[in-house]
Structure 1
Amino acid sequence: MKRPPVRAIVAMMVVLLAGTAYVTRDQWEPLLGLSPDDNRYLGYVEGETSLIAPPSAGRLIERPVNRGDRVKKGDRLFVIDPVVAKAEVARSEAALAEAKARYENLLTGKRQEELDVIRSQQRETEAALVMAETELKRQSDLVARGYGTRQAYEQSESQARQLRSRLASLAAQERVANLAARPDEIDAARALVVQGEANLDQARKKLEDLMPVAPEDALVENTFFNVGEWVPAGTAVLSLLPPQRVKLRFFVPEEDIAKAKPGDTVSFACDTCPPGLTASIIYISPRAEFTPPVIYSQSARTKLVFLVEARPDAPTTALPPGLPVSVAPLAK
């Protein structure tokens, strides 16, 4: 069998190369690992987690939630040993009760029993004064007739004067006994009550912080300590991911960034996601950057892009952080 001449082989290769020029982009891009939808913007899901940490160090004695659980607002998350905090609350409550008792005591007069003693002394003095005045009158008549002595008259007069002064003193004591304390003393006692209330509020807040509850409905994204372990102050015990804290981060080429505006709605898709998902743009980066390495796109790897963030219009934690998404091109 005769081999074809070299010229014929060269001619056939030229024909094949020329034919490839008419192959459409959709036919040869998949061969290079590209996608016909490379005009969509690529990105991923990011979650803004809330780190829940105690303000004081202590031993973790309870953690009723686990990684992956969903909690409702008000659900108990964990408990740090509260023995010391409870004792401080009890001490503050006792100190406040003492301060209130002192304050209320200053607002009132003496006790009824003390008032009864003063009034009894008044009646006794009044009776003695009646007798003294009678004796004074008798001595006055005797002196006028020349039968009495001046000394006896003066003694009777002095006795009556002393009893009148004693009666006036007891009347003043009764008035004072019905009065409250001096204004300065009352103000000082009121300040101690306010101070005690503040101390009690502070102690109760410390106790509350050792037993935090979920601030909102959320997913327990991660836990960092187990029951029995020592938790340093300010160190997160677990992290929460509320549905409304999920957002998209995608990258828009520089030629399209002028179309993006905060508040605009974009459509996006992801694997296993239902159709028709939308999100609202909440942030547009003012600086351009090269496509990050986390975005695997052969055709976009050298383009300048701008980071854009969007919040899904239907909040859901079904979009786990790190999930790749593709966003439809922005409208003109």
Structure 2
Amino acid sequence: MNRVWTGLALCAASALTACSRHEAPAWQGYVEGEYVYLSSSQSGTLTQLDVQRGQTIAAGTSVFGLDSVNETAARDEAQHQLAVAQSQLADIQTGKRPPEVHVTEAQLAQAIANAHKAALQLTRDEAQFSAGGIPRGQLDDSRANAASTAAQVRELQNQVTVAKLPGRTAQLAAQAAQVEAARAALAQAQWRLDQKRVAAPHAGLVYDTLFRVGEWVQAGNPVVQMLPPQNVKVRFFVAQTVVGTLAPGRGVTIHCDGCRADIPATITWISNSVEYTPPVIYSNENRQKFIFMVEAHPSADDAMKLHPGQPVEVRLR
């Protein structure tokens, strides 16, 4: 009878040993978060904080705002400067204003009338001179007057033509450059104004807020610390005898205390060097002490179930 019980015990022990040999190895690790620090390129007083610590927000959500009185005024000034430059360009392109052209046209009409009158007087004087009725001096005066009034007509005709022409090519090019410079100044002013309000670049958890409303924020200082789900990863450590069997893309499962179910993840990175080297001489007996760091990322939905610093246990799938 004792032999029977002894045999059963040996069989049970053998079965347990066989099961333990086939059980997937487990590695210890922890959850790590790669935080995104939201800041502005401009300095200013924090006037608006739109999120709270622990809040989950969507991409594009307004996060915080700084005072923007100066930037708004600069933007408005740039808009007015652009409008002035555009108006000047349009004025050059269209030539003189219609009332100015009308004045020159009226002067031309008067000059034409004077020229016609002078031409008639010249005709009469030439007839009188042929008949001996007037001296040559009077005829010369009539000819000079007719020539002068005719020249004045030609001058005013050219002035009307020029008044209707647009500005010269070089003048137009210079003013067009002024318009582009004003447009660039407006874009720069608008960019500075836009920098006073910051939105979330990705969906995720607001891990912490680092300033309070009313405090001065220096340019580049983070105001909100975010943790996007895709930035949550698990770091675990495997022995050098195992690291050669792993590769990026290999599936693992993550077990943590309090988790309702194990979380699937995918290996994304394996260290190329030993993470911790004990102060011993390399030997066959001590090589098992060498470990390598491995990183695995869960899906974005499962990442929200994990918390940075949380200890986990990782197994191969």
Could you state the TM-score of these two structures normalised by the residue count of structure 1?
Answer: 0.81
2:237 is paired with a residue whose SS is strand
Residue number among 316, 323, 328 corresponding to 2:310 in the alignment: 323
Equivalent pair of 2:267/2:294 in contact (CA under 8 Å) = yes
Task: Pick from 280, 289, 312 the counterpart of residue 303 of structure 1.
Answer: 289
Once the two structures are superposed, the pairs formed by residues 72-91 of structure 1 within 5 Å of their partners are: 72-91=58-77
Match in the other structure for 2:143: 157
Q: Which residue of 2 aligns with 1:42?
A: 28
* 1:263–1:280 Cα contact (<8 Å) kept: yes
- Give, in angstroms, the shift of residue 38 of structure 1: 9.0
Superposed counterparts of 1:102-121, under 5 Å: 102-121=88-107
Distance 1:134 1:282 in 2: 104
Which residue of 111, 116, 123 corresponds with 1:130? 116
Partner in structure 1 of residue 82 of structure 2? 96
Aligned counterparts of 1:88 and 1:227: Cα–Cα separation in 2: 24
The equivalences for 1:143-182 within 5 A come to 143-182=129-168
Structure 2 unaligned residues grouped into runs of 5+: 1-12, 279-285
Displacement, 1:309? Answer: 1.5
1:325 maps to amino acid: V
Matched letter for residue 308 of structure 2 = P
CA 1:37/1:224 → structure 2, altered by over 3 Å: closer, same or farther? farther
**Deviation of residue 269 (structure 1)?**
1.9
Counterpart check, 1:212 vs 2:192: no
What CA distance in whole angstroms lies between the structure 2 residues aligned with 1:96 and 1:318? 53
Q: Distance in 2 between matches of 1:283 and 1:320?
A: 20
Aligned residues of 1:253 and 1:303 also touching (Cα < 8 A): yes
Pairwise CA distance, 1:242:
1.1
Q: Could you tell me whether the CA contact under 8 Å between 2:86 and 2:179 is conserved in 1?
A: yes
- CA deviations over 1:4-46 (Å, ceiling 9, x no partner): xxxxxxxxxxxxxxxxxxx89x89xxxxxxxx98931221111
1:190 equivalenced with 2:176 (yes/no):
yes
Cα distance, 1:313–1:74 mapped onto 2, change above 3 Å = closer
Equivalent of 1:57 in 18, 22, 43: 43
For residue 224 of structure 2, the aligned residue among 228, 238, 242 is: 238
Q: What's the TM-score once normalised by structure 2's chain length?
A: 0.85
CA distance in 1, matches of 2:297, 2:138: 109
Residue of structure 2 in register with 1:290 after alignment: 276
Residue by residue over 1:174-194, the C-alpha shift from the partner in whole angstroms, topping out at 9 and shown as x without a partner, is: 111111111111111111111
SS at the partner of 2:273? strand
One-letter amino acid matched to 1:172: N
Shift of 1:138: 0.9
- Please name the residue that 2:6 is paired with: none
Asked whether the equivalents of residues 256 and 262 of structure 2 are also in contact (C-alpha less than 8 Å), the reply is no
Write the distance in 1 (CA, Å) between the matches of 2:162 and 2:259.
83
Q: Is the 8 A contact 2:64 2:197 kept in 1?
A: yes
Letter in 2 for 1:188: A
C-alpha deviation, 1:220, in angstroms? 0.4
Is the contact between residue 241 and residue 317 of structure 1 (CA under 8 Å) also seen in structure 2?
A: no
Report the AA paired with residue 329 of structure 1.
L
How many aligned positions are there? 292
The equivalent of 2:282 in structure 1 is: none
Gaps of 5+ in 1: 1-22, 28-35, 293-299
Partner SS state of residue 256, structure 1: helix
CA distance in 1, matches of 2:271, 2:165: 72
Cα deviation code 1:84-107 (max 9, x no counterpart): 111111111121111111121111
